[in-house]
Amino acid sequence: MTRQMNPAAVDALRALLLGFAFAGLMASCFELFTERRASFRLLRAGGVAAMVCVPVVVFCGPFIILRNMMHARQRLDGPAVQHFVFVMLATLFASLWSLMSGRVVLDLALRFIGH
């Protein structure tokens, strides 16, 4: 007897994976064209520059969080429980963000192709 996944679960998984992939793609393209790393600090520029960077930060968010988590984890001192909680919370937050942004990208792609 084979069990099939719930269609809603498949859709959520698709959005999650698409969100992470799109975040990495956006961050890589941003770095390629600007020779700067995508970061939440882009919003500190103020004015028009900050407004232009909002979509970049919104869609690169999961990638930025996980990249920052990997760098910060190497510098952390303390018990392993703190490391685990830090990694767990960063991963949870990035995954939820990726799920939401992936849903937006998926909806826009489906609307673009006419479904």
pLDDT digits (tens, 9 = 90+) for 13-31: 999 999 999 999 999 999 9
Instruction: Please answer whether residues 62 and 98 qualify as being in contact, where contact means their C-beta atoms are separated by less than 8 angstroms.
Output: yes
Q: How confident is the model at residue 100 (pLDDT cuts 50, 70, 90)?
A: very high
Highest mean pLDDT of the ranges 5-9, 20-24, 37-41, 79-83: 20-24
pLDDT digits (tens, 9 = 90+) for 42-59: 888 878 888 888 999 999
Spatial distance between the Cα atoms of 57 and 40, rounded to a whole number of angstroms: 6
Length in residues, the chain: 115
Spatial distance between the Cα atoms of 33 and 81, rounded to a whole number of angstroms: 39
Spatial distance between the Cα atoms of 101 and 66, rounded to a whole number of angstroms: 15
